[in-house]
Amino acid sequence: MQAYFSDKTVLITGAAGFIGSHLVDQLLKFGATVIGVDNFITGRHVNLQHLANNSHFTLIEADVSQPVASYLSQEQLESLGLVLHFASPASPPAYQNKPIETYLVNSSGTHNLLSALQANNPDCRLLFASTSEVYGDPLVHPQTEDYFGNVNPNGERSCYDEAKRLGETICGVFQRYYQMDVRIVRIFNTYGPRMRFDDGRILPNFINQALERKPLTVYGEGKQTRSYCFVDDLVRGILLLASGAELSGETVNLGNPEEYTVLETAVLVQKIINGSVAADDILFHDLPKDDPTRRKPDISKATELLDFTPIVDFRTGLEQTIAYFESPESKILD
Ligand code: NAD
Ligand code: UDP
């Protein structure tokens, strides 16, 4: 896949975020020229600071919900061979705190990118970062791509879930109506270095609570499940999907199907960091509304189309993530 990227100029929206910044690094390693765009609503400069003197990387501070011409020159737009549209708050507390920005970047942002490409550079490929949240509180388990989901259209999570679903709709329209090369990745819970310390998602919360010897905040009874993918595996899968031949119009789940309850997750994190678990190491809180009960990706399509299988086991990935949260860099909030 490296050869596909080596002569490409790639635009990454959300480049200063957790996944976006890892994509930037891998694409630069593959020899691509990268333009990153971010408005730093949840992203951090520190995630890209090591690239300050890299002549193959340009960082533009802008809101990608706005028309593309407001932040890219005509020359830059025409130079693009690939767009990875990853801009969007992703943590439930973050997107519930910025609901309008969240639905705009996934809807208007996706529309503005695709319409600018259609008018100026219609052969440029676009990959949209969708989510397992399009399945809502799923009634099918594990979740396959052909499942339409069970989403509350007007709940606390809908600014994100429904916006991702509309983003997928917009991708499908440009792909079918204009025969553009558009691909969709449905990402399941991913973790690793460069997540924000104050992100609010399960693993940054549990790891930082355990490191500070505070009780781990389990929501509900902790019986709900998630399946966690280490970021290196996810990035490999994304770049396989972005570079593969004849995948236009495909929607593919990416994640690690190993499923844990939230309580099992808390116990494992606490044991790795502090060696044992006592009753007062865990504090039960109310379960947030519409919190999905079970989540596990069926990745047979990714395996078949991309030869993708995750290789980093949960304990190894957790150890790397814990080491990151022990580093001073993780405490920098900008
Ligand atoms: P993140 O919050 O770390 O990164 C998102 C980045 O997008 C941030 O740098 C933020 O500043 C930027 N951004 C948001 N709105 C923007 C706008 N209007 N203009 C420019 N930049 C903007 O989140 P992440 O975990 O890296 O997620 C990246 C993408 O992957 C998101 O689209 C998210 O929905 C998707 N995703 C992530 C996960 C996961 O487990 N991490 C799961 C499913 C989907
Ligand atoms: N969760 C928890 N304690 C926390 C943070 C999250 O018990 O401090 C639970 C949350 O209720 C959900 C699961 O962990 O069931 C995953 O939450 P996260 O916010 O990471 O992502 P989600 O998969 O819900 O989008």
Given a contact cutoff of 8 angstroms between Cβ atoms, the answer to whether 219 and 285 are in contact is yes
Counting other chains too, the contacts that 133-141 makes at CB distance below 8 Å and 24 or more residues apart are 133/157, 133/160, 133/161, 133/164, 133/292, 134/161, 134/164, 134/165, 134/168, 134/186, 135/292, 135/295, 136/161, 136/290, 136/292, 137/290, 137/291, 137/292, 137/293, 138/292, 138/294, 138/295, 141/294, 141/296
* Separation of alpha carbons 129 and 145, rounded Å: 14
133 CA: nearest ligand 2 atom? 25
Q: In sequence order, which ranges of 70-221 are alpha helices (DSSP H)?
A: 74-79, 92-97, 99-106, 108-120, 158-177, 202-211
Helix/strand/coil for 259: strand
DSSP summary character for residue 61? E
Kindly state if the Cβ of 98 falls inside 6 Å of ligand 2.
no
Buried b (16+ CB within 10 A) or exposed e, 4-28: bbeebbbbbbbbbbbbbbbbbbbbb
Buried b (16+ CB within 10 A) or exposed e, 182-214: bbbbbbbbbbbbbbbbebebbbbbbbbbbeeee
Query: First vs last Cα of the chain: how many Å apart?
Result: 33
**Tokens at 200, concatenated:** 């609010």
Give pLDDT, residue 107: 98
At CA 222, angle to CA 330 and CA 269, rounded to 5? 35
CB atoms within 10 A of CB 141: 15
pLDDT (tens digit per residue) in 32-65: 999 999 999 999 999 999 999 999 999 999 999 9
Given a contact cutoff of 8 angstroms between Cβ atoms, the answer to whether 81 and 142 are in contact is no
Query: With the C-alpha atoms ordered 293, 100, 41, 184, is the resulting torsion angle positive or negative?
Result: positive
Kindly state if the Cβ of 288 falls inside 6 Å of ligand 2.
yes
Only one residue has tokens 């890219």, namely: 72
Taking all residues of the chain, what is their mean pLDDT, rounded to a whole number? 98
**Tokens at 150, concatenated:** 């069970």
Residue ranges around ligand 1 (CB below 6 Å): 13-14, 16-20, 37-43, 63-65, 86-90, 101, 105, 109, 129, 131, 187, 189-190
pLDDT (tens digit per residue) in 190-209: 999 999 999 999 999 999 99
Given a contact cutoff of 8 angstroms between Cβ atoms, the answer to whether 229 and 191 are in contact is yes
Ligand 1 centre to CA of 96 (Å) is 13
Query: Residue 97 half-sphere exposure, CB side, CA atoms within 13 Å?
Result: 11
Entry pTM: 0.98
Q: In sequence order, which ranges of the chain are alpha helices (DSSP H)?
A: 2-6, 18-29, 74-79, 92-97, 99-106, 108-120, 158-177, 202-211, 231-243, 262-274, 300-306, 314-325
Q: Which of 190, 197, 273, 290 is nearest to 234 (CA)?
A: 190
Superfamily in which the 2-191+228-256+296-311 domain is placed by CATH: NAD(P)-binding Rossmann-like Domain (3.40.50.720)
Ligand 1 centre to CA of 86 (Å) is 5
Q: In sequence order, which ranges of 125-192 are alpha helices (DSSP H)?
A: 158-177
**Tokens at 224, concatenated:** 């709900």
Give pLDDT, residue 191: 98
Identity of the residue numbered 63: D
16 CA: nearest ligand 1 atom? 9
Task: Show the low-confidence residues of the chain (pLDDT under 70).
Answer: none
- Ligand nearest the Cα atom of residue 48: 1
Q: Ligand 1 pocket check: which of 22, 41, 184 to mutate, most ligand atoms within 8 Å of Cβ?
A: 41
Domain parsing of the chain, residue ranges: 2-191+228-256+296-311
Query: Containing H/E element for 33?
Result: strand 33-38
Kindly state if the Cβ of 65 falls inside 6 Å of ligand 2.
no
Kindly state if the Cβ of 260 falls inside 6 Å of ligand 2.
no
91 CA: nearest ligand 2 atom? 19
Instruction: Count each helix (H run) and each strand (E run) in the chain, helices first.
Output: 12, 13
Ligand 2 centre to CA of 201 (Å) is 6
Give pLDDT, residue 294: 97
Kindly state if the Cβ of 202 falls inside 6 Å of ligand 2.
yes
